[in-house]
Chain A
Amino acid sequence: MRGDSSARGQANLVALAVAVVVLTAALGVGLAIADGAFGDAERDATERATAASLAETLVHPDSSLSARHNVLNASAVAQFESWDLDNRHTALEGHDVTVRLDDETLATTGDTTAGTTIRRIVLVEERQSATRTPGLSGTGNPAVTLPRRTDRVVLTLDPDDDTTVSTVRIDERVELHNDSGLAGEHEIAVSPLETATLGIEANGELSEGDVRIEYFPVRTRSAVLEVTVDA
């Protein structure tokens, strides 16, 4: 029994030591897991907030990319590149960011495979050139109404020698005038908000092909703008 007593004391000490080691280890593992959980939650929130605000900035009417709210300008989109992310959106420094439109990557500043993505629905508008050669014949002052709205018109006049085109009106406003005759290519800015009607005042006969009108109607398609941020 006396021997037992001393053995008991030793065993107790060992058990205490083991208990302290086990507890410390458990506490360490626990703290690591808790820290990881907090870190993940925080990182995710930061990424999400950054991605959401960058996406909002890009679709905002004042953004360099957009024409109106949620409407992107195709030529601005074509010019947008990684440089813009670094220099125009300096708050993104230290984050890896990728901006994609549908499946095309517009700009990227790093690998964002583990990042958080915000998607916005946008319209992409593009001005495409279209040409109209009105079937003019005989004398008179013909008027041509363009089928689509446009922001400018390129007018190519090539009348016969005995015909003089003196005035071109758009929506009753004189845009070009020359008493001795207009010829060649003229670019005229028109209101993109209303349909344009061209009035041509000619002294003599005009035939098809003498007047060529190039205009630039807007074509819109819908797309998904994806902003991915990896903090």
Chain B
Amino acid sequence: MRDGRGQLSTPVAEAGLGVILIFAVVTTFALGVPAPDTQQAQLDLYAEDTATALSGEAPLHQDATRLTELARSEGAFEREHERADRRLDELLPDNVLYQIETDHGIAGMERPAGVPYGSTTIPTEHGDVTIRVWYA
């Protein structure tokens, strides 16, 4: 009785262990490979494209481009930030929120913590301008 039990169970137990081992390895393939972070790349593209569009636009008052004008001074930022905000709103798809940061302040929406975002920084004569975008 004791013998019979022992003899019968060994190969079955081995097979069971083998199956568990194989599925453990398979699980690392099925679940363990993290999905590539595709949102990040797309968001970076959005930010870069927006920056390119804004860099190519003529300013209203002075300087070379709209971004330079925005970064110039606190007064210029106060004057221009609403216009920059509206322009970004027009450019970006509705499901994308944005903010634009200069040395003199931040325009646009407040970025929630922990949300993946894309950003691009454009150096201008008066300091860096950073555009950040994220999905609503």
Contact = CB atoms under 8 A, between A and B. Distances in A.
Contacts of B3: 4, 8
Is the interface on chain A under 10, 10 to 19, 20 to 34, or 35 or more residues? 35 or more
A49 to B, nearest CB: 10
A65 to B, nearest CB: 15
Is the interface on chain B under 10, 10 to 19, 20 to 34, or 35 or more residues? 20 to 34
A188 interface: no
A218 to B, nearest CB: 12
B136 interface: no
Interface of A: 4, 8, 11-12, 15-16, 18-20, 22-23, 26-27, 29-30, 33-34, 37-38, 41, 44-45, 48, 52, 55, 59, 68-71, 116, 118-123, 222, 224
A26 B23 contact: yes
A123 B30 CA distance: 42
A15 B15 CA distance: 9
Contact of A30 (B12, B22, B38, B46): B22
B33 A37 contact: yes
Interface string B32-59: 0100101001100110011011001000
A37 B92 contact: no
17 contacts: A8-B3, A11-B4, A12-B7, A12-B8, A12-B11, A15-B11, A19-B11, A26-B18, A34-B29, A37-B30, A69-B56, A70-B53, A71-B53, A119-B42, A121-B49, A222-B53, A222-B91
